[in-house]
Structure formats: C-alpha cells, structure tokens
Amino acid sequence: MNVQISLNGLQKIKTFPDEFPYEAINPYTGEHNIFESMEDVNEVIFQCYLECINKGFNRLGEALYQQAQMFVNMDKLLDTKKQLMIKQYQFCKKFNCPPYTSLQDTPIETIESFMIIDEEINNYKTKDQNG
C-alpha cells in the first residue's frame, strides 16, 4: 500500500476524520462500520486483500489502494519504515548500487521488500502505458 501511496500521492481532500472513532462504508461488506482504531482499518484491508486473492487480482497494491480510499484517509496508512525502504530502493535503482555489500549480507526482508516494490512499480508503469 505504501508503494501505491508513493506512486499516486496522498489524497488532496481528506474525506474522513483524523480521529477515531468515525463511520465509513466498508468496501468489503458494503455496510456502514464504525472504525474505532487502526486495527479496525487493518482488518478491513485484510478482508479486501483476501477477496482480491480469491477473485484472482494480480495488481493487489492498486486494488487495495483504491478500496482503502473509500474508508480511511491515506495518510493514516503511511508507514515511515516502509517509506524509507522505498527511498532505499529508489536510491539503489537510480545509482545502480546494492543496498548492502553483498547478497549474502542483505537481509531477506530487504530482498523481499525490493521485489514487492519493483513489482508494484512495474504494474503501475504497465497501467500508464495501457491507459
């Protein structure tokens, strides 16, 4: 989700309150929900994720980004650690340098994160090229 926020930017207009609790329509059930905390938001995102998997969506980040806009301010979903990982990926890509001195020294989490970021960016570029 953080990659999609980086690619698409934050919504210019906040449609939901910054404070919990607030009411919004759950895109998974179509019903009004009271969101008491980020745990409630994350639970709905997870439900949407499972539904996307079940329906065979291959552009999960984009689908979740679109659905999340229906019930939460996107700035609530920003994760500083993930944003730093995206910046690290961009730096490595731009300057053609590895994140660590060797592949063996690179934590598996970094490798997996870079693969996810790369896939999301490629899906985004494909979407732009195909209109």
pLDDT digits (tens, 9 = 90+) for 51-90: 999 999 888 888 999 999 999 998 899 899 999 999 999 9
If one compares 90 and 127, the residue with the highest pLDDT of the two is 90
Alpha carbon distance 92, 99 (integer Å) = 6
Which residue range is the domain that position 94 belongs to?
Answer: 80-130
Considering 33, 52, 77, which residue would you say is the last residue of a domain?
Answer: 77
The domain total for the chain is: 2
The whole-number pLDDT of residue 130 equals: 63
Confidence category of residue 114, pLDDT binned at 50, 70, 90: very high
pLDDT exceeds 70 at position 6:
yes
Least Cα distance to 26 among 10, 5, 41 occurs for 41
> Sign (positive/negative) of CA torsion 63, 69, 70, 71?
positive
Question: At 102, is the secondary structure helix, strand, or coil?
Answer: coil
H/E element holding 117? Answer: helix 108-130
The whole-number pLDDT of residue 18 equals: 86
Check whether residue 70 and residue 24 sit in a common domain. Answer: yes
Q: Which residues contact 20 (CB under 8 A, 6 or more apart)?
A: 35, 36, 37, 38, 40
The whole-number pLDDT of residue 99 equals: 95
Check whether residue 16 and residue 70 sit in a common domain. Answer: yes
Give yes or no for a contact between 68 and 75, defined as CB atoms under 8 angstroms apart.
Answer: no
The whole-number pLDDT of residue 30 equals: 93
Check whether residue 65 and residue 113 sit in a common domain. Answer: no
Mean pLDDT, residues 111-127 taken together: 89
Check whether residue 58 and residue 87 sit in a common domain. Answer: no
Q: What percent of the chain has pLDDT over 70?
A: 91
Mean pLDDT, residues 16-26 taken together: 93
Check whether residue 70 and residue 104 sit in a common domain. Answer: no
Least Cα distance to 49 among 63, 34, 31 occurs for 63
Question: At 25, is the secondary structure helix, strand, or coil?
Answer: strand
Instruction: Give the predicted TM-score (pTM) of the model.
Output: 0.78
Considering 53, 77, 101, which residue would you say is the last residue of a domain?
Answer: 77
Give yes or no for a contact between 84 and 114, defined as CB atoms under 8 angstroms apart.
Answer: no
pLDDT exceeds 60 at position 39:
yes
